[in-house]
Amino acid sequence: MGDIGLAATKLRPPLPPARPVRRDRLERALDSGVAAGARLLLLSAPAGSGKSTLLSCWLAARNEPMAWLQVESSDSDPARFWTGLAQAVRQAVPGCRDLAPLVASAGGDELSVVSALVNELVGVDRLVVVLDDYHLIDDGRVHAGVERFIELAPPQVTVVLSTRIDPPFRLGRLRVRRQLHEVRGADLRFDPEEATGLLAASGPALDAAAVDELCGRTEGWAAGLVLAGLSLQRVADPTAFLEAFRGDDQLVVEYLRDEFLAALEAEDRLRMLQTSVLEQFDGPLVDAVTGDRGGATWLRATAATNQLLIGLDLTGTWFRYHHLLRDLLHLEARQALGDGLLDLHRRAAQEFASRGDHGQAIRHSLAAGDVEEAARLLIVHGPKLLKDGQVDTLRGILEAVGELGRTHLGCALLHGWCDYLGGRYSRAEGWLDTAVALAPPGFDVVVTTSLRINIALARGDVATALSLARSVDVPSALSSRNADLGTAVGAAYAWAGLADDARRVLQFAAEKAEAEHFPTARLLALVSAAVVELDSGTPATAASAAEAALVAAAGYGLADYHGVAPAYAVRASTSDDPARALVDAARALGLGRRASTDLGRAYVLTSCGDTLLGSGDPSGLALLDEARTLLGRCVDPGIVGRHLARAEARHGVHRPPAPPAPGLVEQLTERELALLQYLPTQLSQRDIAAAMYVSVNTVKTHCQATYRKLGVGDRRAAVQAARDLHLL
């Protein structure tokens, strides 16, 4: 779902029934679990057992803050799940920082998000965190994160998990530690006294014998009792009805179909079937889908007499069907409405699109078989999903769009971003090529440049990234695009060691990102600026730039984002406090190892290895060795290669390179200058020889002469030295 009704449908418990049945024994059991300091209260029972109603009534009677997340199947996207949970916690805990930027930048990485969320809860007096319908989660990363959250949360935080099946946690360990309190299906069965209260809310009073009989037939199952109560409103002979009623789940479904739905007025039955295509709804949404009027009045009147229509907010605006009823309505609608369902989904898509809820509009367009409309909406919604880190959700939509995505320009670009973020760089480039091939005449290829630069840098190909950056480094291109383009261009200049160009573009990108409320783009621009200043040999300025980046990271809730690792590394390198430097180096390493690119990881390893060795810790040697291995996979590592060589020279690792020359040792010849243009590429010496129409031996001779004149010892160092001298 989108943002429509978010507070009502995701971040609040459903309203208790108008005349709730107090289940004191169960509420006392939950109270005792909290009082005993259980980290997890697990309510595990089949559908229709009354879990959500029990929790809503229990929480209404307690005074401590409560964070409620109504889980949906779409929450299996880690970024979406943690965004929802972080919002729920923030709503419950005054002063809690907004962690949405961290979730988005980290793509829902549970290590980053859980650590940040736990830190926000350290000072809270008491908090109950409820995850309802948790069985809808089928992603192992979410399960791992929730289990980690349960283990690390402060003792004054209790997690309540309502589910139809046990979560794949190490429950045995929690039991042994007495940190688990369980309420199961047998516990949730209504006893005769509770059943009397439940039935009294639905129809005529029954004697004790009749209630006992009904409890036996339903085995105390809440859904069966509710259905029986609804039916008792209409039957002339309650005794005869009770003798015929059976309440196991299979027969209840049959009963719902044969008795409950059949007994409805034709207009009510049709409206229920039509609205079954919706997960939750308000009056105008009901009207839009059914093509009728009076939806809001109908919802309130129906909810007043039917406990299977559940109110979701205090204003009586948003509702949903009980899960069992909606499942049955869905089945019946397929049979009764046939292809008419497609039109219902189309109407729903149009209504959601008019409200700006493109996520739901896309879902209903796909259900209607209108793939082209879904693809059109995805052009607007896809970038938002990327910005929010919901890559799994975007990838799922693209898969549902199917083959059309291979012939649709916008979908091809989104495919490319998904593959890039997944570390599949060749596939990402393939999608970019597809997008360009699909583009109409006059297509502005600048829209592909940010992704191309990021792919090049991810591969450690600074030369390609630099060439792309220069191609768009004009005011009109940078000012008319999102800030992420400027951040990418500035990063290319930074890794290439072109300090003046990097400073100019990164400052522009940071200001533009701030104006666009794009925290990740601004933060990465500030981090790159710190790298530039350290490479320029100005420790004080570098320290200041790193501090600015880390202050911004803390302000955005992004202190645990792996993208800030270089800033921690720069601050460690420039600190005059040895103890603090080691703390920052450890922080940089922890975050840097989560980075997916060799270039950034090698930079952090080098800086931290240098810091550790400078403090007398020999473990820094292993970090430098690891960095060299990573750079061995890079086509052109830019300044990182020089950064590593300097660190190795400082600590006597390998052969000390020749000291950097302030200028050329000797002027390059015309042929050597021609050769220099091929060195940043992936061409072998044999390939270069063919391109220059000379022998391989001649190329080798030119290379050795070029290295000597540049004062370096190898090809990669020659490339960076030539950049420093503006020869490339």
Alpha helices for 266-370 (secondary structure H) = 266-275, 283-290, 295-305, 323-337, 340-354, 358-367
Contacts from 342-345 at CB under 8 Å and sequence distance 24+? 342/367, 342/368, 342/369, 343/368, 344/274, 344/277, 344/289, 345/277
- Dist. CA 82–CA 226, nearest whole Å: 34
Q: What is the CATH number of domain 670-724?
A: 1.10.10.10
Look up residue 64 and give its amino acid.
Answer: E
Q: What is the pLDDT of residue 151?
A: 93
- Reduced to 3 states, what is the DSSP secondary structure of residue 651? coil
- Dist. CA 131–CA 51, nearest whole Å: 11
Q: Are strands 309-311 and 319-321 parallel, antiparallel or unpaired?
A: antiparallel
- Dist. CA 702–CA 713, nearest whole Å: 13
Cα Rg of the chain, angstroms:
32
- Reduced to 3 states, what is the DSSP secondary structure of residue 320? strand
pTM (2 d.p.): 0.78
Are the CB atoms for 589 and 136 separated by under 8 Å? no
CATH topology of domain 266-368: Arc Repressor Mutant, subunit A (1.10.10)
What are the per-10-residue average pLDDT scores of the chain (728 residues)?
52 76 87 91 85 88 90 91 93 87 84 88 91 93 94 93 92 90 86 76 67 72 73 70 60 64 82 92 94 91 80 84 80 88 95 94 95 94 90 93 89 93 90 91 88 92 91 85 91 92 94 90 94 89 94 87 93 93 94 84 94 92 91 87 86 60 66 75 76 74 78 78 75
- Paired with 319 in beta bridges are 281, 311
Q: What is the pLDDT of residue 100?
A: 86
- Domain-by-domain residue ranges, the chain? 6-188, 192-263, 266-368, 382-447, 456-650, 670-724
Work out the widest C-alpha separation in the chain, in whole angstroms: 109
- Dist. CA 126–CA 542, nearest whole Å: 42
Q: What is the pLDDT of residue 375?
A: 94
- Reduced to 3 states, what is the DSSP secondary structure of residue 168? coil
Look up residue 234 and give its amino acid.
Answer: R
Backbone φ and ψ for 158, nearest 5 degrees, come out as -115, 130
Are the CB atoms for 494 and 570 separated by under 8 Å? no
> Which of the four CATH numbers 1.10.357.10, 3.30.70.260, 1.10.1200.10, 1.25.40.10 does domain 456-650 have?
1.25.40.10
CATH fold match for the domains 266-368 and 670-724? yes
> Which of the four CATH numbers 3.40.50.300, 3.40.190.10, 3.30.200.20, 3.40.50.150 does domain 6-188 have?
3.40.50.300
Closest by CA to 280, choosing from 501, 15, 528, is 15
Closest by CA to 325, choosing from 252, 263, 266, 270, is 252
How remote is the C-alpha of 338 from its chain's centroid?
A: 36
Q: What is the pLDDT of residue 655?
A: 52
- Dist. CA 383–CA 363, nearest whole Å: 17
- Dist. CA 211–CA 219, nearest whole Å: 12
Closest by CA to 508, choosing from 496, 497, 493, 495, is 493
Instruction: Report in angstroms the alpha-carbon separations of 163 from 70, 167, 544.
Output: 11, 8, 50
